Structure 1
Amino acid sequence: MKDIFIIGSKGIPAQYGGYETFVDELVTRQVNEGIKYHVACMTFNKETKNYNYNGAECQEISIPNIGGAKAILYDLKALNWSLDQIKKDNLRNGVVYILACRIGPFIHSYIPKFHKYGFQVWVNPDGHEWMRAKWSKPVRKYWKVSESGMVKNADLLVCDSKNIEKYIHETYSSYNPNTTFIAYGADIVRSMLTSDDKKVKKWYQDHNVKQNNYFLIVGRFVPENNYETMIKEFMSSDVDKDLVIITNVEHNKFYEELKEKTRFDTDKRIKFVGTVYDKDLLKYIRENAYGYIHGHSVGGTNPSLLEALADTKLNLLYGVGFNKEVGEDGALYWSRTPGFLKNLLEKVNGLKVNQIKNLGKKAQQRVVEEYSWKKIVNKYENRFLEK
């Protein structure tokens, strides 16, 4: 039996989030019975639970809600739990898989402790967290130092993007990092909802949106997702459709600055509609969008991009390596050059039905061939079971 401890997700069953969905899919779709998963789950409750989820042992790790530093504390407490379990149950020959690079300054002291029991320490480096504009300069500096520590000490780095893997080797060549590429996943499954369902009717009526008559954006409300460019370019276009933005919008400093710079509140086509946590409803909204606009500029294989390629026929992606690697010829690309996205929007607004269908087929083919959860889980299981 190969014991796999997974550290760094908020927990399963997944409510939201890329890492949470990944761990849920990995556990739920397990094929090889020679693997036993142990998953750390974050909680702010003082009383913790240990429970079984689809064969995985799930242990809640209690931490105080202390802002950004809570994720670092959570990872460290989860590592201590893993080590205690390994000692208590006399486990040997396994993997401790850490998601994200939050604990670089501390990881070196844990590696020999896990090696003592025959456990390797793997890390998923995620994207360029240190580049995210939401962090202050001191925090960004910490992220960069932390990334360096994780890369230097990990036995294996599992990169979900070829561009991230390339970056790791170019930036940290002196460490001679051991890496592998296993992507994130998605599935081609139609929504179970129809236009007659009550929640479908209510959502479209509440937001005054017509099916197949809107461009869609789904993503975290942060500057590096290029909201300013997407909104400005859409507003300057003569597109006769709405721009529906599904995001965790908060009337914070970024929101107010964005409103001041773009005056999006003066354009009735721009519609911030909040979040949609109902997965089937979100899938339906994607399927019935005229097109999807993806502005993410930081990170690896982005979950919302894969979901868009699986569900939406027409995808307009910000033209960076991460996005091109995933979309290839199944999408169209834009830059931040003023007027570029405006012109692309006006062009695709006049595409014929068969042209959009062909793009949609290519997008779905990318998901089927390279990003299906069945394929991703199989790759992970094979790698876990390697001697």
Structure 2
Amino acid sequence: MKIAILGTRGVPNYYGGFEQFAEFFSVYLAQKGHEVFVYNSHNHPYQEKTFQGVNILHQYDPEFKIGTAGQFIYDLNCILDSRKRNFDIILQLGYTSSSVWHFLLPKKPLIITNMDGLEWKRTKYSKPVQKVLLFAEKLAVKSSDYLIADSLGIKKYLLEKYAKDSTYIAYGAHVFENPDEQILAAYEVEKHNFNMILARLEPENNIETILDGIALSDDTTPMLVIGNHQTKFGNYLKEKFQSYPNIRFIGAVYNLEHLNNLRWYSNLYFHGHSVGGTNPSLLEAMASKALIIAHDNDFNKAILKENAYYFSNSEDVKKLTLQTKKNDNLHLIQNNFAAIASEFNWDKINGEYLQLFQSSISEN
């Protein structure tokens, strides 16, 4: 098959979850003998024409000049280019800035869309923007031949709201089993004597609630906040918690080996995400044997089940911080680790995507 992947900033991953998936899946497809093309922003750090057998198509992306609106132009450029390529399948990862151009998608290929999370529910967006995103979601549902839901909650939502079936395929992670304690020195922490959050610093990820709880606890254990803090909300958080020296904003970290080791050696790993499907960083925490304290919602519970502690407010965080130790909860950690190996491993996820591609081609 000749396959295109749209909707990411490109591969290899320098940004986030969809980019990580696009990297793993595109290389997998190439190894299986398929002709694969991934669209990259023109200013992506990786400027080669191929990556491990995957063809890279750089397209102009003005986001660096004009902000979020640039994503719409970048997606338009990718879609216009796809009309020249005679693809069999176009896999769209998300729809936020691409579905408005659905009428320009080429007619021949099957359009398969991963519907991501419920973007219009994100509190970082104003009410008018949320309405636009809900409309974009509707366009994506109507213009796609097949839908993928990366959580059972999203699958249920699509069926109830649009009467449209989707294929449930979770996100994946690689099990991590070779820790290197020396990496901790770069972050000035000691094994099992620090807590951490890894997330985009956005309101719906409950960073403020978690840090409020840490502040209330008067606990002096280092708390690493990993994520880009050079934002309006990041600056607000830094100012609010500047009098707590144990709360350390260390910025974004994309080195997977470093992140895996931090998760492995942390005492408590806080996961505050409250919107969306299967969150990549949550699976990676499970795969790195972190003890997870998660926001209490259906998306997180569908993945973690009884193998985590849950919080709803800062008082919960305070109590859990003071009362919970990793070494007392090794059974929870092992259960999550086993779930990655059996349910959420990349080979299984990649195989399920490929199976969907093959069956959809044969149906058409």
Structure 2 residue 79 is the aligned partner of structure 1 residue 79: yes
Structure 1 residue aligned with 2:323: 347
Q: Any idea what the Cα deviations from partners look like across 1:206-260, whole Å, max 9, x if unmatched?
A: xxx332111110010111111111011121125452221111112x542454456
10-19 vs 234-243, which moves further: 234-243
Alpha carbons 1:50, 1:57 under 8 Å: kept? no
Give, in whole Å, the separation in 1 of the partners of 2:186 and 2:61.
Answer: 39
Q: Any idea what the Cα deviations from partners look like across 1:60-110, whole Å, max 9, x if unmatched?
A: 111323211111221221112111011xxxx6xx21111111233331x23
Kindly report which structure 2 residues correspond to 1:234-249, keeping only aligned pairs within 5 A, or say none: 234-249=214-229
Structure 2 residue aligned with 1:151: 141
Give, in whole Å, the separation in 1 of the partners of 2:175 and 2:222.
Answer: 26
Query: What is the aligned length?
Result: 356
Structure 2 residue 12 is the aligned partner of structure 1 residue 18: no
Question: What's the TM-score, normalizing by structure 2?
Answer: 0.91
Cα 1:361/1:105, change in 2 over 3 Å: same
Alpha carbons 1:163, 1:300 under 8 Å: kept? yes
Q: SS of 1:85's equivalent?
A: coil
Q: Which amino acid aligns with 2:277?
A: G
Question: Which residue, out of 189, 192, 195, partners 1:215?
Answer: 195
Structure 1 residue aligned with 2:311: 334
Structure 2 residue aligned with 1:60: 58
Q: Which amino acid aligns with 1:151?
A: V
Alpha carbons 2:30, 2:54 under 8 Å: kept? no
Structure 2 residue 189 is the aligned partner of structure 1 residue 202: no
Structure 2 residue 249 is the aligned partner of structure 1 residue 272: yes
Alpha carbons 1:313, 1:356 under 8 Å: kept? no
Structure 2 residue 162 is the aligned partner of structure 1 residue 180: no
Q: Structure 1 residue runs of 4+, over 4 Å off? A: none
Q: Any idea what the Cα deviations from partners look like across 1:337-363, whole Å, max 9, x if unmatched?
A: x522222222214x7x3x321111011
Alpha carbons 1:122, 1:155 under 8 Å: kept? yes
Structure 2 residue 111 is the aligned partner of structure 1 residue 121: yes
Alpha carbons 2:149, 2:168 under 8 Å: kept? yes
Give, in whole Å, the separation in 1 of the partners of 2:243 and 2:67.
Answer: 35
Structure 2 residue 60 is the aligned partner of structure 1 residue 70: no
* Bigger-Rg structure (1/2): 1
Give, in whole Å, the separation in 2 of the partners of 1:58 and 1:257.
Answer: 38
Kindly report which structure 2 residues correspond to 1:75-114, keeping only aligned pairs within 5 A, or say none: 75-86=75-86, 94-101=88-95, 102-107=97-102, 109-110=103-104, 113-114=106-107
Q: Which amino acid aligns with 2:175?
A: I
Structure 1 residue aligned with 2:341: 368
Give, in whole Å, the separation in 2 of the partners of 1:200 and 1:344.
Answer: 24
Alpha carbons 2:26, 2:38 under 8 Å: kept? no
Q: Which amino acid aligns with 1:190?
A: E
Report deviation, 1:34: 5.0
Q: SS of 1:361's equivalent?
A: helix
Question: What percent identity do the matched residue pairs reach?
Answer: 31
Question: Which residue, out of 199, 224, 233, partners 1:254?
Answer: 233
Structure 2 residue 176 is the aligned partner of structure 1 residue 189: yes
Q: Which amino acid aligns with 2:253?
A: V
Report deviation, 1:168: 1.3
RMSD: 2.2
Give, in whole Å, the separation in 2 of the partners of 1:238 and 1:64.
Answer: 45
Structure 2 residue 208 is the aligned partner of structure 1 residue 224: no
Report deviation, 1:51: 1.7
Question: Which residue, out of 293, 311, 321, partners 1:316?
Answer: 293
Give, in whole Å, the separation in 2 of the partners of 1:201 and 1:277.
Answer: 17
Give, in whole Å, the separation in 1 of the partners of 2:345 and 2:139.
Answer: 32
Report deviation, 1:32: 6.7
Q: SS of 1:142's equivalent?
A: helix
Cα 1:214/1:194, change in 2 over 3 Å: closer
Give, in whole Å, the separation in 2 of the partners of 1:4 and 1:151.
Answer: 20
